[in-house]
Amino acid sequence: MELQTSVFDVWVWRTAERPEYLLLHTSQIKADRHFNGGRFWQIPSHIVADGERVTDAVERVLAKAGLETLEIWAAEHVYNIYNRRFDAMQMIAVYAARVDADAVTLDPEEHADYRWCSYEEAQRLVNYRGLKEGLASVREYVTERAVPMRELRLR
């Protein structure tokens, strides 16, 4: 079995009175194709291409959703999963990206809806340990810290 180490998740947030985090709801097409019909809330995720910088990969993925990054941060969190969609073990690094946006462009093959959520709501809506722990790390080091850890800012 292959171990994929170039996979990343990105917690996208915008600042209102309190940070709001972006969640994407899987489409029924994606759910039927890969997850036995199960739909769930997730965040942007992809693979860093050979020779590509992680910041460029994050910007590439978010640009497809119509989002322009203002900042990109390392979230000090990595988790492992078996991804049935790719039949591979994945080591997923977590990043955070701040945007100034309301609308998100969705690929209907992948996602049917999106939602901007408080930390508490996002923790309630995501099902998977890696997402929950990644969001907690983003909150602790970046988004809800009086002074974010500057050394974790990548762009």
pLDDT at 148: 85
Tens-place pLDDT, residues 137-151: 999 999 988 888 899
Tens-place pLDDT, residues 96-130: 999 999 899 999 999 999 999 999 999 999 999 99
The amino acid sitting at 146 is A
What's the structural domain count of the chain? 1
- Structural domain boundaries, residue 24: 2-152
Handedness of CA 112, 20, 127, 120 (dihedral sign): negative
CATH number, domain containing residue 47: 3.90.79.10
